[in-house]
Amino acid sequence: MLGSGNALCVLDGRAAQRSAALDEGSVVIAIFDYGAGNLRSVQNTLDEIGASYELVRDAAALDRAPKIILPGVGHFGQMLRALDEMNVRQAFISRIRAGVPFLGICLGLQGLFDSSEEAPEQRGLGTFRGAVRRFDNSARVPHMGWNQLDLTRPSKLLKGLPERPHVYFAHSFYVPVVEQAAATCTYSLTYTAVLESGNVFGVQCHPEKSGPLGLAMVRNFVEL
């Protein structure tokens, strides 16, 4: 169901507070810049919660990063081709396998899978098996606006959020429900909205556009 009722929740005031972990400033998060992500919004979100970060564009920077965020907007094939042209595909795979905390946002989540109907010829990172699908003709595409998350199991990323938070989406393709799903969303069908598996986290929504709830999600990642 669509709605924005939870969009302005303040989460008991915690969304505006810095935690001790952030104040220490000891972890510099790498935001990967492949040329098309919504970097400014993600930077603004990290600035607001007091997190340290740097924009990176090469494998060497990924290799030293203690945490990685891959924001993604646009086209699956374009993003994966960019990663290949920048020679960072293997760096992403190696860092994820090494246990480095990783957060993929929107297309950054979809890129973790084998392939996508958006670009069937293009290989994804293959961290998880399966293909990203396009919403069928019964749905108005893109899915854009506020929608509800339904938690399927305890979630580190959604810790402290309301039971059924509303967050902001903008996408035409989706990840089917997989065993790693920590929350789903329903828009003509039910799909994976939040993924958690060990050190790997992914969100189909845009936390950087989801107000205090989105800030809380990013804060939870930073504080892992």
Q: Residue 154, exposed/middle/buried by CB under 10 A (0-12, 13-18, 19+)? A: exposed
Concerning whether 9 is annotated as a catalytic residue, the answer is no
Provide the 10 A C-beta neighbour count for residue 86.
16
Q: How far apart are CA 85 and CA 76, in angstroms?
A: 14
d(CA 96, CA 189): 30
In a domain, 4, yes or no: no
Alpha-carbon distance of 205 to 110, in angstroms, equals 11
Whether 185 is a known active-site residue: answer no
Give residue-wise pLDDT tens across range 126-166: 999 999 999 998 889 999 999 999 999 999 999 999 989 99
Residue 147 domain boundaries: 11-222
Query: Is residue 2 in some structural domain?
Result: no
Catalytic residue among 143, 166, 171, 206: 206
- CATH number for the domain harbouring residue 67: 3.40.50.880
Q: What tens digit of pLDDT does each residue of 202-214 get?
A: 999 999 999 999 9
Could you confirm whether 106 is annotated as catalytic? yes
Q: One of 106, 118, 171, 185 is an active-site residue; which one?
A: 106
Q: What is the pLDDT of residue 99?
A: 98
Write the pLDDT tens digit of every residue in 23-58.
444 579 999 999 876 789 999 999 999 999 999 999
Classify strands 113-116 and 143-148 as parallel, antiparallel or unpaired: unpaired
Number of folded domains that form the chain: 1
114 domain residue, yes or no: yes
